[in-house]
Each structure stands twice: as structure tokens, then as C-alpha cells.
Structure 1
Amino acid sequence: MTTADQLSQYLQELQPAHLDLVNESMNHAGYFDGKESHFKLTIVSEAFTGKRPVMRHQLVYAAAAPLLTSQGGTIHALAIHAYTPSEWSSIDAAPDSPQCAGKNQ
């Protein structure tokens, strides 16, 4: 099972109404074919209702913990865009990710 598939599976505990996970590893220094270390996550869940962004991120980090490098996993960076369903209904898409400073252009 790929890291992306595992992450998507772990995030199901938040009962997402929408989940979009993009492997952005190829945009970062040290990329090699098949690397899964940098992800952009857009997640919409009722679990975020009444919670500030920091708490939303903490919920995502808790669900993803086994895959994060700080816990012995392979995910080095996880850009999190967490919304409630009502917030998501007024947004076209999550913001673009910045370019990696270490990536050869």
C-alpha cells in the first residue's frame, strides 16, 4: 500500500466529506521516482466545526502520526487545508503550494 493510500485510510477517522491528497514530492529537492514525502491535503469534515486552524491541524497530525517522519514514518511535509463543510461550500479550491527553495529550477 502506498503512503498516500495509508494516509487517506488513517484520515477516515475524521469522517471527511471531501478529501484530496496530492503527492508534491516531485516539487522538492532530493526527489526520486516513487518518493512519497511531501503532500498537500485538502480535507473537509464536520470534526473541524468550532475549532481553530491549529486544533484542526492537530486532529490531522494525530490521525497521520504513524506516517510522519517524527514518528518514524516517511512523510516529511504535510500542507494541511482543513475546512468545515460550510466553509468549503464558499471556496473554489485550496491555495497553491509554494515552490520549494531547495528545488533546482
Structure 2
Amino acid sequence: MTSTTPVEDLIRAKLTTAFTPTTLLIRNDSHKHAHHAPMRDSTSKETHFHVTITSSSFASKPQPARHRMVYGLLKEEMSREGGIHALQLRTKTPEEEQREREREAQQQ
């Protein structure tokens, strides 16, 4: 059986292998951008993604360095014709995620 989301599957596999995330959310936003001029002739339905990833691999690294880690891992998919056109990232450490949860709980 062929996957209907091969790019998303590849992103998930690569990020899971490289970063062993405690949280990994991948949202395919391609449908929101299908009408944009650069996407009109694209044969791919998987071009725009939002990724939230929590990993201890990001400890003591600033956001730009974390993003470079992910971009470097997905370099081939981002440079390929019909590959990833846009990748929005939210990178956190487990400690940052825990603090975020605690703040949200206090606000409720």
C-alpha cells in the first residue's frame, strides 16, 4: 500500500530517528497555499508544514541553532522539485514544554 502522505511520513521518520522527540506534531498546511503562484504547477500536495518538536537534543541551543538542525536534516526534501516549500518550526526542550504546561495550568 502506498502512503497518501509520503513527505509527512519521511519528515516524521527523520525527526524521530535524529531527535527522539517526546512530542512531535506535524501539520500539513499545503491546502492553504495551493492557490499561490509558485504552487500552481506543483505535482505535490505536501509542500507546507508546521512542525512542533520537543527534544532534549535542543538543550542549551538557541532557537536559530535548533532550526538549523532541523533544516539540515530535511535539506534534501527542501531542495527537491516538488518537495517542502515552507517549513514552520516550533522547537522546545522537555523542560520548556513543562514550564509552558505549568503556565497554562495556572491561567485556568
Would the TM-score normalized by the shorter structure come out above 0.5? yes
Give 2:23's aligned residue: 18
Give 2:13's aligned residue: 9
Name the CA distance, whole Å, in 2 between partners of 1:91 and 1:33.
39
TM-score by length of 1: 0.77
Contiguous gaps of at least 5 residues in structure 2: 102-108
* Count of residues in Structure 1 that have an aligned counterpart in Structure 2: 90
Report whether the alignment pairs 1:67 with 2:77: yes
Q: Secondary structure at the match of 2:61?
A: coil
Q: Secondary structure at the match of 1:39?
A: strand
Q: Secondary structure at the match of 1:61?
A: helix
Cα RMSD (Å): 2.0
Which amino acid in the other structure matches residue 64 of structure 1? L
1:3 deviates by: 0.3
Runs of 4 or more consecutive aligned structure 1 residues displaced over 2 Å after TM superposition: 29-34
Whichever structure has more helix as a proportion of its residues is 2
Give 1:88's aligned residue: 97
Larger Rg: 2
1:34 deviates by: 6.4
Which amino acid in the other structure matches residue 91 of structure 2? A
Name the CA distance, whole Å, in 2 between partners of 1:50 and 1:90.
16
1:91 deviates by: 2.6
Q: How does 1:49-60 map to 2 (within 5 A)?
A: 49-60=59-70
